Amino acid sequence: MSRFLNDRYSSLEVYTPGEQPKDKKYIKLNTNESPFPPSEKTVAAVNADEIRDLRLYSDPECSELKMAMAQSYGVKTENVYVANGSDDILNFAFMAFGQNGAVFPEISYGFYKVFAELHVVDYITVPLEKDFSIDADKYCFNGRLTVIANPNAPTGLCLSVKEIEQIVKNNPDGVVLIDEAYIDFGGESCLPLINKYKNLLVTGTFSKSRSMAGARLGFCFADKEIIDDLRRIKYSTNPYNINRLTLVAGKAAIEDDAYYTENCKRIIENREYTVAQLEGLGFRVIPSKANFVFAESDWIDGAELYSKLKEKGILVRHFDSERIKNFNRITIGSIEEMREFIKTVKQISEELQ
Ligand SMILES: *Cc1c(COP(=O)(O)O)cnc(C)c1O
């Protein structure tokens, strides 16, 4: 750290992304990426003409992409905002709406805490229930920014739209941000509620169900006034925050919805397979509506399973925090990857006998 750094940032605990090691080829089940490539039409959209146009700035309004999204999701363009990954939107949301503090579940996406600290937002966390679920009734902190990942990460558990509506209703004087990064894998989106509540902000991403983690593209829906607040911050920081190639790829992906819906179906099938197999091997698996499962067993410690899998060329995500340290979060990949994963877990269990 240099002596020039603003004191405000010197004690920040930064977010730790999942590892992307280059030492050998791993089966990567650690960062919830898609095992499937973007669709052919998405790939074709990023063509030589678009690359030549990189000399020009991208459209700061992202009009074409926003129109495509509005049409696909059945909302008005004024209710859509797109950004450089949904992390970018979360960042802005803490900046914009955290004035009276924030609240989020104790176990959830690790970035919420980082953004709260970055923007000096006073935050409180609510413990999960015994079964790792979120009790919607406990989120009554009117005035604070409430942030809920639905499905939650790393548990994969999903609240119903009714429960989300309860939270939104209970907090009329604070923004309720529902992070739907994993909603396409079996949960029900609360998007229709934006027409009814002015304090609801629903975020989503192209990183998981749309196979574009490397393109960095996120989006959100809300009442026009909230969208305008986000635009206000964007035009005060980085108006061209989405590059031209990502804009055209994103639009093509939206227009090729059938391909991505089919991929989600396959992921859900592969998830069911993985859950059944893991349970057969003595694991407790939290019921997941995401493209990952969260599992523990009493025959191997979470950290040990993580290391043994890594030794054998499979990466999963392990978290050190006390309550979940016996678990691993396993991304659902292709069926071949999941068979290999299960085979390897079996092998590890046999080696221990
Ligand atoms: C992956 C993830 C995001 C971030 O998505 P990007 O669009 O890649 O920035 C946001 N929220 C949750 C809960 C996630 O798991």
Cβ 30 under 6 angstroms from ligand 1: no
For residue range 273-303, list pLDDT tens digits in order: 999 999 999 999 999 999 999 999 999 999 9
Cβ 109 under 6 angstroms from ligand 1: yes
Cβ 33 under 6 angstroms from ligand 1: no
- pLDDT band, very low/low/confident/very high, at 16 (cuts 50, 70, 90): confident
Atom 11, ligand 1: residue with shortest CA distance: 181
Ligand 1 centre distance from Cα of residue 353 (Å): 39
Instruction: Give the C-alpha separation, 183 to 158, whole Å.
Output: 9
For residue range 308-338, list pLDDT tens digits in order: 999 999 999 999 999 999 999 999 999 999 9
Question: Phi/psi at 263 (nearest 5 deg)?
Answer: -60, -40
Kindly tell me if the per-residue pLDDT of 17 is higher than 90: no
Cβ 260 under 6 angstroms from ligand 1: no
Residue labelled with tokens 């900046």? 95
Averaged pLDDT score across all residues of the chain: 97
In Å, what is the CA distance from 130 to each residue of 99, 222, 323?
31, 32, 10
Asked, as a colleague might, if the bond just before 154 is cis with ω within 30 of 0, I would say yes
Atom 1, ligand 1: residue with shortest CA distance: 181
Kindly tell me if the per-residue pLDDT of 133 is higher than 90: yes
For residue range 148-202, list pLDDT tens digits in order: 999 999 999 999 999 999 999 999 999 999 999 999 999 999 999 999 999 999 9
Neighbours of 131 (CB within 10 A): 9
Cβ 115 under 6 angstroms from ligand 1: no
For residue range 23-36, list pLDDT tens digits in order: 889 999 999 999 99
Residue labelled with tokens 């006073």? 122
